[in-house]
Structure 1
Amino acid sequence: MMDLLGSIWWMVVSLGILVTFHEFGHYWVARRCGVQVLRFSVGFGRPLWMRRNAAGTEFAIASIPLGGYVKMLDEREYEVPAGQRQYAFNNKSVWQRIAITAAGPAANLLLCIALLWLVFVIGRQDYSATLGVSTGLAAEAGLGQGSRIEQIDGRRITTWSEATMALTMAAMDGRDASVQLRQADGSSSQRQLPLSRLPEGFDERQVTALAGLNWAFMAVPARIGQLVPGGAAEGVLLPGDLILAIDGQRVEDASQVPALINQLGTAGHPGLIEVQRSGQRLALELSPQQDRSQADNPRWLLGVQFAAVPMPEHDASQRYGLVAALPAALRETARLAADTLGMMRRLVTGNASLQNISGPVTIARVANASAKRGVDWFVYFLALMSLSLCIINLLPIPILDGGHLLYYLIELVKGSPLSEKSMALGQSIGLALLAGLMGLAFYNDILGLF
Structure 2
Amino acid sequence: MNEFLHALFSTDGLLVGTLVPFLFVLLVVVFVHEMGHYLVGRACGIGVQAFAVGFGPELLGFNDRRGTRWKLCAIPLGGYVKFVGDMSVTSNPAQTDDGLSETQRRMAFHTQALWKRAATVFAGPLFNFLLTIAVFAVMFSIHGRYVAEPMVATVNAGSPAENAGIMPGDRFISVDGTKVETFADVQRLVSGRGGDALTFVMLRNGREVSLTATPQPMEQEDALGNKIKVAVIGVVNDQTLGQPRLITYTPTEALGTAVLETGHIIARTGQFLKRFAAGREDKCQLGGPVKIAGMSAQAAKLGFEWLVQLIALLSVGIGILNLLPIPPLDGGHLLFYAVEAVQRRPVSERMMEFVYKAGMLLVLTFMGFVFWNDLFGC
Partner of 1:433: 362
Tell me how far apart the structure 2 counterparts of residues 376 and 342 of structure 1 sit (CA, whole Å).
Answer: 27
Tell me how far apart the structure 2 counterparts of residues 175 and 348 of structure 1 sit (CA, whole Å).
Answer: 19
Q: Which amino acid aligns with 1:341?
A: G
Question: Residues 376, 81 of structure 1: CA spacing in aligned structure 2 closer, same or farther, 3 A cutoff?
Answer: same
Q: How far 1:24 moved relative to its partner?
A: 0.9
* Mapped contact 2:22–2:293 kept (Cα < 8 A): yes
Partner of 2:92: none
Q: Which amino acid aligns with 1:421?
A: R
Q: Secondary structure at the match of 1:171?
A: coil
Alignment partner of 1:417 out of 335, 346, 356: 346
1:423-450 Cα deviation digits (max 9, x unpaired): 11111111111112112222222357x6
Tell me how far apart the structure 1 counterparts of residues 45 and 105 of structure 2 sit (CA, whole Å).
Answer: 11
Mapped pair 1:24 → 2:35: yes
For structure 2, list consecutive stretches of 5 or more residues without a partner in the other structure.
Answer: 1-6, 89-97, 218-226
* Mapped contact 1:7–1:364 kept (Cα < 8 A): yes
Question: Residues 417, 206 of structure 1: CA spacing in aligned structure 2 closer, same or farther, 3 A cutoff?
Answer: closer
* Mapped contact 2:85–2:104 kept (Cα < 8 A): no
Mapped pair 1:84 → 2:104: yes
Partner of 2:122: 102
Partner of 2:223: none
Using the aligned pairs only, state the percent identity: 33
1:381-403 Cα deviation digits (max 9, x unpaired): 32222222222111111101111
Please identify, of 134-143 and 146-155, the stretch whose mean Cα deviation from structure 2 is larger: 146-155
Q: How far 1:59 moved relative to its partner?
A: 0.9
TM-score of the superposed pair, with normalisation by structure 1: 0.65
1:193-243 Cα deviation digits (max 9, x unpaired): 7336x59xxx981534xx5556769xxxxxxxxxxxxxxxxxxxxxxxxxx
Q: Secondary structure at the match of 2:57?
A: strand
Q: How far 1:336 moved relative to its partner?
A: 1.6
Question: Residues 207, 75 of structure 1: CA spacing in aligned structure 2 closer, same or farther, 3 A cutoff?
Answer: closer
Q: How far 1:120 moved relative to its partner?
A: 0.8
Partner of 1:388: 317
* Mapped contact 1:121–1:322 kept (Cα < 8 A): yes
TM-score of the superposed pair, with normalisation by structure 2: 0.76
Matches for 1:197-216 after TM superposition, within 5 Å: 198=216, 205=229, 207-208=231-232, 212=234
1:27-84 Cα deviation digits (max 9, x unpaired): 1122122222111111112222211110001111112111110011116457334442
Please identify, of 398-407 and 86-95, the stretch whose mean Cα deviation from structure 2 is larger: 86-95
Mapped pair 1:156 → 2:167: no
Q: Which amino acid aligns with 2:69?
A: E
Partner of 1:303: none
Partner of 2:191: 168
Mapped pair 1:44 → 2:68: no
Partner of 2:67: 56
Partner of 1:269: none
Q: Which amino acid aligns with 2:192?
A: M
Q: Which has the higher helix share?
A: 2
Question: Residues 431, 371 of structure 1: CA spacing in aligned structure 2 closer, same or farther, 3 A cutoff?
Answer: same
Q: Which amino acid aligns with 2:37?
A: H
* Larger Rg belongs to: 1
* Mapped contact 1:142–1:191 kept (Cα < 8 A): no
Tell me how far apart the structure 2 counterparts of residues 179 and 216 of structure 1 sit (CA, whole Å).
Answer: 20
Q: How far 1:117 moved relative to its partner?
A: 0.9
Tell me how far apart the structure 2 counterparts of residues 48 and 191 of structure 1 sit (CA, whole Å).
Answer: 62
Alignment partner of 1:115 out of 129, 135, 147: 135
1:289-345 Cα deviation digits (max 9, x unpaired): xxxxxxxxxxxxxxxxxxxxxxxxxx6645412121121112112222221222222
Partner of 1:243: none
Question: Residues 340, 70 of structure 1: CA spacing in aligned structure 2 closer, same or farther, 3 A cutoff?
Answer: same
Tell me how far apart the structure 2 counterparts of residues 216 and 372 of structure 1 sit (CA, whole Å).
Answer: 30
Q: Secondary structure at the match of 2:267?
A: helix
Question: Residues 422, 140 of structure 1: CA spacing in aligned structure 2 closer, same or farther, 3 A cutoff?
Answer: closer
Tell me how far apart the structure 1 counterparts of residues 57 and 34 of structure 2 sit (CA, whole Å).
Answer: 18
Tell me how far apart the structure 2 counterparts of residues 18 and 182 of structure 1 sit (CA, whole Å).
Answer: 47
Alignment partner of 2:277 out of 339, 342, 348: 348
- CA RMSD in angstroms, aligned pairs only: 3.5
* Mapped contact 2:121–2:333 kept (Cα < 8 A): yes
Question: Residues 190, 124 of structure 1: CA spacing in aligned structure 2 closer, same or farther, 3 A cutoff?
Answer: farther
Q: Secondary structure at the match of 2:80?
A: strand
Q: Which amino acid aligns with 1:36?
A: G
Mapped pair 1:442 → 2:364: no
Tell me how far apart the structure 2 counterparts of residues 155 and 19 of structure 1 sit (CA, whole Å).
Answer: 36
* Mapped contact 1:39–1:72 kept (Cα < 8 A): yes
Question: Residues 318, 339 of structure 1: CA spacing in aligned structure 2 closer, same or farther, 3 A cutoff?
Answer: farther
Question: Residues 158, 63 of structure 1: CA spacing in aligned structure 2 closer, same or farther, 3 A cutoff?
Answer: farther
Tell me how far apart the structure 2 counterparts of residues 188 and 325 of structure 1 sit (CA, whole Å).
Answer: 34
Q: Which amino acid aligns with 1:169?
A: G
Question: Residues 157, 44 of structure 1: CA spacing in aligned structure 2 closer, same or farther, 3 A cutoff?
Answer: farther
Alignment partner of 1:93 out of 110, 113, 132: 113
* Mapped contact 1:47–1:61 kept (Cα < 8 A): yes
Tell me how far apart the structure 1 counterparts of residues 250 and 333 of structure 2 sit (CA, whole Å).
Answer: 40
Mapped pair 1:136 → 2:158: yes
Q: How far 1:104 moved relative to its partner?
A: 1.1
Partner of 2:79: 68
Q: Secondary structure at the match of 2:281?
A: coil
Q: Which amino acid aligns with 2:197?
A: R
For structure 1, list consecutive stretches of 5 or more residues without a partner in the other structure.
Answer: 218-314
Q: Which amino acid aligns with 1:117?
A: A
* Mapped contact 1:151–1:181 kept (Cα < 8 A): no
